[in-house]
Structure 1
Amino acid sequence: MFRSIPDVLTPTELAQLRAIAARASFVDGKLTAAGSPHKNNLQVGDRAIHGQVSQFIADALFRSDAFRTFAFPKTMMPPLLTRYDAGMAYGVHVDSAYMPVGDRMLRSDVSCTVFISDASDYEGGELRIRLGTSDVAIKGKAGSAILYPSSTLHQVDPVISGSRLIALTFIESRIANAEHREWLSELKQVGAIMAEKMDVETYTRLQRVEENLLRYWGDAD
């Protein structure tokens, strides 16, 4: 249901993003969640810097084969640089089903957090995703990303000390159904693992199944 992807950002890119964040102005995160009683964080307020960071992180995500074959991205919200200082948190919530992107509405199918701070730079601040009656707490390594269905209940635990710097984005997938997306992603992963062990005919038959499922379940508009 969710996927952790290591090394989405290189060490050089992380250093660049941290330098950008150090000189950026941040504003109240409630500006993008008006009326939410659960949200207590900061987001970059400078439009020029937001545009620069958004393109930077979007490029990194889209060059990741793991990202593309898990999310099957159709449209993505420009990634937003977000910071949690000591005492800040985001209570249990579900992401909005539809979000404005330019002149259209994006359906949020997959949520994505890209970790920019080192995990040792802050205490607390775990991303907590609810799966059934259990929670999975995630504190990703700097440069990694975590993807999960936007329909899940999740939260960010209070930061006890330090600052948690992340980028957050939402993806409208070509595969709207989360189970279909997971099955097709797993099929593609197995195909990639076994490709060298298959003869050409068998691999071609597997590709036929993959592409026809994508054609059947997917949305190309």
Structure 2
Amino acid sequence: MTLFKEISDLLTSAQVDELTRIASTAKFVDGRISNPHSKVKQNLQLHDEAAYQKSSQILMQAMFGHEDFRNFAFPVAALPPLMTRYTPSMRYGAHADAAYLQLGNMSLRSDLSCTIFLNDPASYEGGALRIQLGTRDLRFRGAPGSAIVYPSDTMHEVEPVTQGERFVAITFIQSRIADPWRRELLYELNEIAALEGLRMAPENFTRMQLIQAKLLRHWGDRP
């Protein structure tokens, strides 16, 4: 069980270029504007309504249009992704994400967090996303357009950038299946059915489909 998902092609190169263009003329401010009491957050975040609307629309369409993202996350809703920057000496110390976030007039339960990488990791040093999963200590510095999706209740951090600039977008997802172990079990079962289903005897494949549907009904808390 991995509990996290790397997606190498969430964005096309054209989408990355467009997001970079939007960010180049947009205003970024101290990231603590959205978390003023944080003692570990040191970054810059987009603070430009027009740029936020354009960039978040591109990113949301990419996420919900990507089959592997949908299959892994079982998404009900997501916070519109926010572009952030880290310049030398900036970091985001070890933390777990808030359990609930405001999305318009509703609260969104943060089951999964997602970092979308927007610039070449060769253009900066440091700045790895470090995630603690049990006894595993994992670090990610993804290529432009790639993403990492991981449980929001894990301890994680962005290590200090020592040179260049780290440019990413972040978002939080509410899943139909809150429990990460159940979510990944159903994801794996669905993957096996998709890859091997046509090789199975038709009656056994139908039985597997029934199990998939029953588990989704039993474990899912949103339609």
Provide TM-score, normalisation by structure 2. 0.96
Structure 2's unaligned 5+ residue stretches are none
- Residue 109 of structure 1 aligns with an amino acid whose one-letter code is D
Per-residue CA shift, 1:17-56, capped at 9, x if unaligned? 1111111110111111120000000111001111111110
Q: After superposition, where does 1:182-193 map in structure 2 within 5 Å?
A: 182-193=184-195
SS in 1 for 2:22: helix
Following superposition, the deviation at residue 133 of structure 1 comes to 3.2
Q: Which residue of 2 aligns with 1:103?
A: 105
SS in 1 for 2:191: helix
Structure 1 counterpart of 2:55, from 53, 56, 62: 53
Q: Which ranges of 4 or more aligned residues in structure 1 deviate by more than 3 Å? A: none
Per-residue CA shift, 1:118-158, capped at 9, x if unaligned? 11111110000012233101111111110000000000000
Q: Which residue of 2 aligns with 1:152?
A: 154
Q: Which residue of 2 aligns with 1:126?
A: 128
SS in 1 for 2:157: strand
> Does 200-209 or 8-17 show the bigger shift?
200-209
Q: Which residue of 2 aligns with 1:204?
A: 206
SS in 1 for 2:50: helix
SS in 2 for 1:147: strand
Following superposition, the deviation at residue 63 of structure 1 comes to 1.0
Q: After superposition, where does 1:10-159 map in structure 2 within 5 Å?
A: 10-159=12-161
The size of the alignment, in residue pairs, is 221
Following superposition, the deviation at residue 199 of structure 1 comes to 3.5
Structure 1's unaligned 5+ residue stretches are none
Provide the rounded CA distance (Å) in 1 between the counterparts of 2:214 and 2:148.
Answer: 28
Following superposition, the deviation at residue 64 of structure 1 comes to 1.0
Provide the rounded CA distance (Å) in 2 between the counterparts of 1:194 and 1:56.
Answer: 34
Provide the rounded CA distance (Å) in 1 between the counterparts of 2:198 and 2:164.
Answer: 46
> Does 132-141 or 176-185 show the bigger shift?
132-141
Per-residue CA shift, 1:164-205, capped at 9, x if unaligned? 111100001110111111111111111111133223332222
Provide the rounded CA distance (Å) in 1 between the counterparts of 2:198 and 2:21.
Answer: 42
- Residue 40 of structure 1 aligns with an amino acid whose one-letter code is Q
Cα root mean square deviation, aligned: 1.1
